[in-house]
Amino acid sequence: EILNLGMGADASIQKSLRRVRKFSPMLQRFTEVQGAFIEIDHQTGKITAMVGGSPFTSTNQLNRALQMKRQPGSTFKALLYAAAMEAEQITAASIFPDTPLVFLDAEGDAWLPENYSGDYTGFINIRNALTNSTNVVSVAVAREAGMDTVHPILAQIIDVKEKEIPRNY
């Protein structure tokens, strides 16, 4: 469902999903998309708004904004892509291979970045790679754009001084 929404699903798909859920409360419970949102005043650091998911009920007492464990890597992908676009190294339509990659470090040890699902889709554009949070494409973008190119732009985007970012990549 979330892929359909992200890809601009037509109303008939959404109508069908609502009809199925209406007659199956258990299915609705497990297929409803959940999310969280926190708004922070970047000047003061104070939280100005927070939504923790669906309404608090006897069957849903989880505040996703505070209680879910999240990995920041997927958030960073959007920043990496933005920096590479700002550097005019890629566009949303740029195509990259979503295929297994092997990198060797200075000692000859292999690193194989993988997608969370363990699957690969072949060639994919940046727009879809971001929508699907494709790890392998993010690595390819970082290599293609060049970390020396995107590093200063990333520092500016996240408002971190150059000297505060380790350069051991």
pLDDT single digits (tens) 107-119 = 888 888 888 888 8
What is the rounded distance in angstroms from the CA atom of residue 169 to the CA atom of residue 157? 19
- pLDDT, average across residues 43-52: 88
Asked whether residue 18 carries a pLDDT value surpassing 70, the answer given is: no
For residue 104, CA distances in Å to 110, 111, 137 come to 5, 6, 18
What is the rounded distance in angstroms from the CA atom of residue 6 to the CA atom of residue 67? 25
* pLDDT for position 163: 61
Give the burial string for 36-50 (b: 16+ CB within 10 Å, else e). beeeeeeeeeeeeee
Enter the tokens of residue 137.
């494409």
- pLDDT, average across residues 53-59: 76
- pLDDT, average across residues 36-55: 85
Q: How many CB atoms within 10 Å of residue 99?
A: 13
Q: Which of the 8 DSSP states describes residue 38?
A: E
Contact 110, 104 (CB under 8 A): yes
Give percent of the chain above pLDDT 70: 72
Enter the tokens of residue 46.
């104070």
Contact 124, 96 (CB under 8 A): yes
Predicted structure pTM score: 0.58
- pLDDT, average across residues 18-31: 59
pLDDT digits (tens, 9 = 90+) for 61-92: 788 888 876 666 778 899 999 999 999 999 99
Asked whether residue 169 carries a pLDDT value surpassing 70, the answer given is: no
* pLDDT for position 103: 82
**pLDDT interval class at 1 (50, 70, 90):** very low
